[in-house]
């Protein structure tokens, strides 16, 4: 008489549990989607959402402008970036002329980090 082979019950339980969790997540996702569709159907909610997005957009722009004012020629994580293309890592510093704001000189020399490729 041969022995019957059985899978270990622990593994099967884990798989069944994973499937039921996946089914619950999918059910919640569909319910959330339906709720958000219904919520966005209200014009007042759409106006609120649009206003909030615009406020977040302006806040982000101001945050980036402030960061660049304090640390010019840097990326979002503080890494140094080329002052001309803003993409690559700088390898040298070049001299450029900027139009003067005052009346004493026409141009002012400024130093800009440069990647050497752009």
Asked if residue 94 binds Zn ion (CB under 5 A), the reply is no
- Specify the stretch interacting with Zn ion by CB under 5 A; choose among 16-24, 27-35, 55-63, 108-116: 108-116
Asked if residue 91 binds Zn ion (CB under 5 A), the reply is no
Among 67, 74, 84, 94, binds Zn ion (CB under 5 A): 84
Asked if residue 118 binds Zn ion (CB under 5 A), the reply is yes
- CA–CA distance, 51 with 58 (Å, rounded to integer): 11
Please say whether the beta carbons of 118 and 87 come within 8 A: yes
For residue 73, which of 95, 55, 89 has the smallest C-alpha distance?
89
Asked if residue 36 binds Zn ion (CB under 5 A), the reply is no
């Amino acid at each position: 008489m041969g022995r019957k082979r059985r899978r270990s019950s622990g593994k099967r339980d884990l798989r069944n549990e994973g499937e039921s969790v996946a089914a619950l997540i999918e059910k919640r996702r569909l319910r959330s989607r339906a709720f958000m569709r219904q919520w966005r159907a209200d014009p007042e909610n759409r106006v609120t959402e649009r206003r909030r997005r615009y406020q977040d957009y302006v806040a982000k722009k101001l945050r980036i402008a402030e960061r660049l004012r304090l640390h010019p020629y840097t990326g979002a994580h503080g890494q140094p970036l080329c002052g001309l293309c803003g993409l690559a890592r700088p390898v040298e510093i070049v001299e450029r002329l900027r139009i003067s704001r005052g009346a004493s000189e026409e141009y002012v020399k400024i130093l800009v980090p440069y990647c050497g490729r752009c």
